[in-house]
Chain A
Amino acid sequence: MWKYILKKLLLAIPVLLGITVIDYAIMSLAGSPLDMLVGPRITEGAIAARAAKWGLNQPIWVQYWNWLVEVLHGNLGYSYKSYQPVAELIGSHVGPTLLLMGVSMALGLLIAVPAGIYSAVHRYQKRDYAVVSASFLFSSIPGFFLALLMIYLFTVVLGWLPSSGMITPGVGGGALDVARHLVMPALVLALGVAGGNIRYIRSSVLEILEMDYLRTATAKGLGRGLVIRRHAFRNALLPIVTVIGMQIPTLFGGAVIVEQLFSWPGLGLITMTAVTGRDYPVIMGVCLLSAVVVLASNLLTDILYALVDPTIKY
């Protein structure tokens, strides 16, 4: 087992390096941050000095190498805009994003797992079609449109929920206040998660329901509920574990847009600002973080899979 984990870890390192290389290349192609400085108020000498200070006068591969060496020394660099250390910037924004993603994932699975199982158990009945249609609908609504509809309904018409930020300024604080701000963005993301996964869980439960051991369980006279709860559900857990792993990059992507719409003070918000402002160190920091998270969740999925399913060889 340990050998397996070690092997997977070692395999992840070149992938991670590859991702950062692609990141750096794409980012540099996108345009130099120096272009943003050009204007009537700045001299060429000042720009050249800035270029030298940021190391942008060197070839791209040298820049990348310098960045990599710094990262290996634990230094993610400083933001070009706010001059804050990138690690500090990310650290202060990672909490809200984790909260948003965690709540959305939990909520999404809480909808998707029972709905998927229900749908599979009542296969080809009206109820099954209703659930599957609903899941298609959930995954077909653009998140931002759902967000607009919700803001319209809950903020404008009903006035129940605040539409932006994480705490009410002035009054702010308290878990209840944060929860009220969290409802809409989390619901938008959760419905997206549920939409895609209901059908996935349905089909994996269906596959299991056709297994011989379930026929045996039914044949020996166990009640339907017991068969599903004790025999089918346990085996259906396996594909559900995979779903969670697959969901993380998608969820992060969704969070970028949702955070933008609801002014949720998370990583998505600083990412958007960094991308439009060509703030290289911040972009690279966020990319590195997200790549690590994604690879780590892939690894965790593999390990969980190997633990849960004894037939997997490693």
Chain B
Amino acid sequence: MNCISENISKQVQVLTCHRHRAQLNGEVPHGSADVTGIGGHSCARHGCFAPSSLVNFQKGERQMNMDWSLIEALATTNIGALIYIMHIYDINCLYCMYLQDRIDRNDMLHIAEHIKLIHAIGQFHVHGHQHKCLYRWATHYVPGAGVVDGEVLETLWAVLNTVSAATRTASLAHRTEILDDHMNDSNWKKMLHIGNYSTVSCIPN
């Protein structure tokens, strides 16, 4: 325990898995760009963007960026009295280790006390991890997870990428409006057409 508390005070985290790209690029600033990318949260089942959870990256995908996104997603999606919330993230084996510590240290981060986060890694990304991570973190092995791949945001990015290229040289405010608009459109169309894919409508008459 001593080595853990020492490491917390020094803000050092021991790598217990591969050096993933998201971790590797964390501290690399980018010369000509003031925003190097975006990160966010969405519902794992339906793939709807969580309001207010899309954050800009300044130096790559840092833990502090995703911390804020997670806290905002939990605050804006009617969690209410729900206790167990599953959180699926590409590098959760490293990310969730000191998550509670980072929340406790920062008075801008609030999470309701009754919420218990269950961490998992998506079915695609988990195979880029060490072998032990598959059984520890893959959603297939999380009791109560249902059948989710945990990669739905990749499909949402694919659509968003067609428009985000056009926002590279827009003003920051205009870029925000365009991205907001297209994410809103994605959620809206999903709500309109989700009935076509429900179990009931798939049963032939």
A binds B: no
Interface set of B (CB-CB < 8 Å, partner A): none
Interface set of A (CB-CB < 8 Å, partner B): none
